Amino acid sequence: MRIDPMTVVPASYDAVWGFVALALVAITVAAVVSELRHSSVLSGRVLAVWLVITIVFPPLGAIVWFLAGRPTARRDLAASAAQTDPPQLDR
């Protein structure tokens, strides 16, 4: 009795692994775009390190970026407020 190797693994496994691969690519691309969007808040060296980490370790780097590395809105507001002129007070 001979077993065809293509029938041992169901076709649904291909679909599942294809979806997993697509999700990993999507989260990696989203992380790179997020890092580039925060480039005004991050210094050049820090941004370069995050980009390298995300590209070299795609799923892990992207997940760590979204959990720990991404600046919060509070830090974004503080950085943008520091770059603008202070308000003029009328006396």
87 belongs to a structural domain: no
Q: HSE (CB half, 13 Å, CA atoms) of 2?
A: 2
27-78 confidence digits (pLDDT tens):
999 999 998 888 888 888 888 999 999 999 988 999 998 888 877 655 555 6
Asked whether residue 15 is domain-assigned, the answer is no
How far apart are alpha carbons 51 and 37 in whole angstroms? 12
> Which domain covers residue 52, as residue numbers?
40-68
Handedness of CA 24, 65, 63, 37 (dihedral sign): negative
Q: 89, 87, 81, 13: which is closest to 41 by C-alpha?
A: 81
The model's pTM is 0.65
Question: What is the pLDDT, as a whole number, of residue 69?
Answer: 80
Domain count for the chain, please give it: 1
Of 87 and 23, the one with more pLDDT: 23
- 11 domain residue, yes or no: no
